[in-house]
Amino acid sequence: MATIDVRSDTVTRPTPAMLSAMMAARVGDDVYGEDENVNALQQKAAAMFGMEAGLFCPSGTMTNQIAIKLHTQPGDEVICDELAHTYLYEGGGIAFHSGASVRTLRGANGRFTAEHVRDNVNRRDDAHLPWTRLVAVENTVNKGGGCCWDLDELRRIRTTCDELGLALHLDGARLWNALVARGESPRDHGAIFHTISICLSKGLGAPTGSLLLGSREHIGRAHRLRKLMGGGMRQAGYIAAAGLYALENHVDRLGADHAKSRHVADELRTVPYIASVLPVETNIVIFHLADGLSTEAYLRHLAERGIRAGSMGRQTIRFVFHLDVSDEQVDALLSAVRAFH
Ligand SMILES: Cc1ncc(COP(=O)(O)O)c(C=O)c1O
């Protein structure tokens, strides 16, 4: 039985065309700055966002944590939503790498407002308080069901950060999905944030790799932090070539993943044992089972039908659509969902 894997959009494998691009890469030692594909990828991504420079790293966790370290000193505080990946799912990296504390906000499925930020910034004239230094935003919000931020709210948050002397970082692991869903451009976001992390290994389908974008000064310091964290890669051009291929070929097709999510969510809303489905904007569908149903039994039911799905908490199931899920697999997934009693 072929497996249908909707645990995450990170499970994709390179397409034959992407593999060819990887195999054709001419590589050099990137720690010396000599890999032409890595250099091209960094320059291309920075130019797309209208930012000065980029740094290719092994993972989105690394680009986020480097950014947080760039903007903070030990004892400072970071503001983010309580659903933020940087806070929940990066191994306690904010404490470990940066020695910073975190003030979590309760936004709407992971999206807070400029007023929330203003209300949660600590006064600097009170020695008891950690200094608030950084606001971190996630777009799309993974745990918020892949929802997108409103661009005007992001601009208001930037204005507030400027007034209060705060840095603003974007965890854009799935920013590509937001850009396609909202019809926005990378430059819209590049103009708002001091640093941006973008991933090539989620919906874009590259095997690994993320980029940190920012000013020349930030990226210069980030280069040293990447080495310090053990993320200096040598002949990284093979995976950079996959990233270049993904940027050129796999952005526009994200709309097809979003259509699958919307279709599945519409069907889930008609299923009696499903209590609620989060609003769907991109490639993630999060839904809640009715009281009394076991998450484990539900995932087992799907697994017995060749479907690998994930849980995001008690009675909370997540399906993520990506380029390795076909229309036929969506139909099979829905049949398995309907067969649960
Ligand atoms: C929103 C978000 N940010 C960051 C990451 C981290 O990316 P990586 O798995 O490349 O470390 C993920 C991973 O799924 C994510 O969903």
Give the pLDDT of residue 258.
98
What is the pTM for the complete model shown?
0.97
Shared domain check, 27 and 41? yes
Task: Report CA(129)–ligand 1 centroid distance (Å).
Answer: 30
| CA-proximal residue: ligand 1, atom 7 (nearest) | 60
Report the CATH number at residue 276. Answer: 3.90.1150.10
Shared domain check, 68 and 165? yes
Shared domain check, 189 and 266? no
Residue with tokens 């503001």: 79
163 backbone φψ class: left, alpha, beta (φ>0; ψ -120 to 50): alpha
Is 136:169 a contact under the CB 8 Å cutoff? Answer: yes
Shared domain check, 197 and 57? yes
**Where does 173-251 have alpha helices with state H?**
175-182, 186-190, 216-228, 237-249
Burial call 65-97: b when 16+ CB within 10 Å, e when fewer = bbbbbbbbeeebbbbbbebbbbbeebeebbeeb
- Strands 284-289 and 210-214, bridge-based pairing: unpaired
Shared domain check, 119 and 46? yes
Is 179:313 a contact under the CB 8 Å cutoff? Answer: no
Shared domain check, 219 and 306? no
Task: Report CA(33)–ligand 1 centroid distance (Å).
Answer: 25
| Number of structural domains in the chain | 2
Residues of the chain with pLDDT under 70: 1
Provide the 3-class DSSP secondary structure of residue 218.
helix
Per-residue CA distances from 232 to 206, 236, 253 (Å): 19, 9, 31
Give the pLDDT of residue 38.
98
Shared domain check, 227 and 82? yes
Task: Report CA(64)–ligand 1 centroid distance (Å).
Answer: 9
Given 220, 249, 278, which residue is the final one in a domain? Answer: 249
Task: Report CA(176)–ligand 1 centroid distance (Å).
Answer: 13
* pLDDT, tens only, 308-322: 999 998 999 999 999
Shared domain check, 62 and 159? yes
Alpha-carbon span 283 to 265, nearest angstrom: 11
Give the pLDDT of residue 1.
60
Report the CATH number at residue 37. Answer: 3.40.640.10
Shared domain check, 104 and 189? yes
Given 249, 274, 308, which residue is the final one in a domain? Answer: 249
Shared domain check, 264 and 142? no
| CA-proximal residue: ligand 1, atom 8 (nearest) | 60
Within 6 A (CB) of ligand 1 lie 10, 59-61, 64, 85, 138, 142, 171, 173, 199, 201, 210
* pLDDT, tens only, 275-284: 999 999 999 9
**φ, ψ for residue 206, nearest 5 deg:** -75, 155
Lateral strand order in the sheet of 274-277: 274-277, 284-289, 316-320, 310-311
Given 196, 227, 249, which residue is the final one in a domain? Answer: 249
Range of the domain at 313: 4-10+253-338
Shared domain check, 124 and 30? yes
Shared domain check, 304 and 212? no
* pLDDT, tens only, 181-233: 999 999 999 999 999 999 999 999 999 999 999 999 999 999 999 999 999 99
Type of residue at 262: R
Alpha-carbon span 332 to 6, nearest angstrom: 12
Task: Report CA(59)–ligand 1 centroid distance (Å).
Answer: 7
